[in-house]
Amino acid sequence: MSDYLSEVFGDCGLFAARFPGYEMREGQVALARMVDEAMRSGRHALGEGPCGTGKGVAYGVPAVWHARHRGKQVVIATANIALQEQLVGKDLPLLAEVMPWPFTFTLLKGRNNFLCLDRLRESEARGELAGLYDDEQDRQMRAVLAWARETRTGDVSELPFVPLPQVWSKVSVSSDECKGDGCPFRDECFAERARAAAREADIVVTNYHLLFAHLALRRETGQDLVLPPFDLLVLDEAHEAAEIARDFFGFSVSAHTANRLARYAADLGDTRLADRLRQRAAELFDRVAAYARSPLYRCRLRQPGFVDPSALAREMEALAALGEAVADDEWRDREERATGRTA
């Protein structure tokens, strides 16, 4: 065991001194040792432990040590709010109390978890905050407005209730709705303040949706637009990450979508492409249906790449090229007409 892990987990260590009757748990120590080695070497590691292992503390101790002693910024991504709250409300405060290495941590949420002052102002100007709700919505809105005058963080979790979507949507925005640098409240923005705090923190706790949104945008832009730059990443409940990752890095297609695209191709004047799209889609989904009926589908380890979507993908790429060509032609026509009028 690394010396600092003995100092924390050992029979005469920091936990033993802090908690009378403390007994070292071998599973927790083994997990902490594995996490420490992965953080030192830069290699991936996969750990598993039953309930009661104390996984948050097991990976939290190495995370704190490497943040403070090696200057590494750590992101811990979790699958759900309950895990985030346990980390930020229990595990990390416990480590801050017990460990002799001062560190900072913060919870970073999506923009729609924060009060938006600009949206609040717009809703007030349009008269959307009073007289348009049933009794429960009206009660909640009054409570939200009273809280909005006092809050220092704008975090919806401060409210003693979960606001109805019809209420919260009047005072919050999504990332797509945010005005960004054009917002008159940019300097007072609660979401931006939370991001600024995350940039300064040693450990940032977030969720999988924000993590994969960050990675997807980074792949496209090369910039850290959602999370701050980080050196070490811990995935808690990692078995739940794949499905969310697919939403950001994969794509989906349905028979309905393929037929709609075929109609679009026909509208653009390429009936042969439309026919090929319908044919390729029918072939693909016939194979999918046949696989779903086969014994292979019911195996624990399902067959990867059981159908080849490349034929349909090629026709969809052809449609995209056709759409771009038509758009270019329309743009040139508009330019020529505008030039003719000017002349």
Q: Read off the pLDDT of residues 4-36 as tens digits, 9 standing for 90 and up.
A: 999 999 988 999 999 998 989 999 999 999 999
77 and 208 in contact (C-beta within 8 Å)? yes
CA nearest to 75, candidates 304, 302, 299, 228: 228
- What range defines the domain where residue 125 resides? 112-191
User: pTM of this prediction?
Assistant: 0.78
Tell me if 30 is assigned to some domain: yes
170 and 119 in contact (C-beta within 8 Å)? yes
CA nearest to 63, candidates 241, 204, 214, 240: 204
Instruction: Give yes or no: residues 159 and 132 share one domain.
Output: yes
Cα angle: 248, vertex 254, 255; to 5 degrees: 165
Instruction: Give yes or no: residues 310 and 265 share one domain.
Output: yes
Split at pLDDT 50, 70, 90, the class of 291 is confident
| CA dist 248 → 241, 252, 299, 308, 338 (Å) | 11, 11, 27, 21, 41
Instruction: Give yes or no: residues 100 and 205 share one domain.
Output: yes
CA nearest to 164, candidates 186, 132, 210: 132
Please, what is the average pLDDT of the chain? 89
Instruction: Give yes or no: residues 281 and 143 share one domain.
Output: no
